[in-house]
Amino acid sequence: MWDYTEKVKELFLKPRNVGEIESPDAVGEVGSMICGDALRLTLKIDKETNKIIDAKFQTFGCASAIASSSALTELIKGKTLNEALKISNQDIAEYLGGLPKEKMHCSVMGREALESAIEDYKGEKEPRVEEKIICKCFEVSEEKIRKVAIENRLTTVEEITNYTKAGGGCGTCIPEIEAILRDIWYVKIIPERPAAPKKLTNLQRIALIQDVIEREIRPRLQSDGGDIELIDIEGSRVVIGFRAMCVGCPMGDITVKSIEDKLKELVSDDITVEVG
Ligand code: FES
């Protein structure tokens, strides 16, 4: 049914590092059998070098869960904890030559198990604070939806379902997932600021546009590794160019709309923004 890569098939049929390490230095457990996927990761760590000497997993899940867990253990063995923490769920999927989009939640589960094991090793595991559960069918919290959406730049409920399973059951959580996505990609971008003067001269308008972009929009984009450049202002038409991580970003249209909304709010409601 699913279009699996040769690597997924190989690691499903002959998984690496299955089992449990005796007297492990770290244990990471995520998911639950009730929700259909669960992963237990055990690690042996060299305390001198902080290197992961051995990693084993036990999982309850489909072919891609087994392949993703196997890939994770292969990726982290021999790495220091800091190096291992740089491995993202996208790295796990890439190691497998890709996963069907509906199965990306398996790569997310691998990354979560790794984080959980390293927290366990460092003694950072907090007593579980009450998280707000958004999707009751799959026990997915708001924190997880936000984290996965931002890390993977997800903008639709369908993508959230593919990466976390949230929304893939009865569907009653979908409006809340939509609200979270709106909050992440539309509302959060710019903080409060005093309203603009009503009547502006041309020079005042240009100066205000530059000011809003420099003081409010660029720092926000730069904090996510992106950037923009103001290219031209022609009457109410503002032309910008994407730079750094913003170049080719799949959320480019949303970013342009957010910038336009903010300039309408703070400068003038006839402003239009386009990429030059
Ligand atoms: S509560 Fe999320 S799918 Fe049912």
Per-residue pLDDT tens digits for 154-183: 989 999 999 999 998 899 999 999 999 988
141 lines ligand 1 (CB under 6 A): no
167 lines ligand 1 (CB under 6 A): yes
Percent of the chain with pLDDT over 70: 89
Q: What is the pTM of this model?
A: 0.64
Residues 19 and 56: beta-carbon distance below 8 Å: yes
Asked if pLDDT for residue 248 goes beyond 90, the answer is: no
Q: Which residues are catalytic?
A: 35, 106
Residues 100 and 9: beta-carbon distance below 8 Å: no
How far apart CA 68 and CA 84 sit, in angstroms, is 15
What is the pLDDT averaged over residues 112-133? 83
Query: Which has the closest alpha carbon to 103: 139, 74, 64, 142?
Result: 64
Q: CA 98: distance to chain centroid?
A: 17
Which ligand 1 atom is nearest residue 174's CA? 2
> How much distance in Å is there from the Cα of 168 to the middle of ligand 1?
6
pLDDT digits (tens, 9 = 90+) for 23-72: 999 999 998 665 567 899 999 999 999 999 999 999 887 888 999 999 99
237 lines ligand 1 (CB under 6 A): no
Query: Which stretches of the chain are DSSP H helices?
Result: 6-13, 63-76, 81-85, 89-95, 104-122, 142-152, 157-164, 174-182, 202-212, 218-223, 252-266
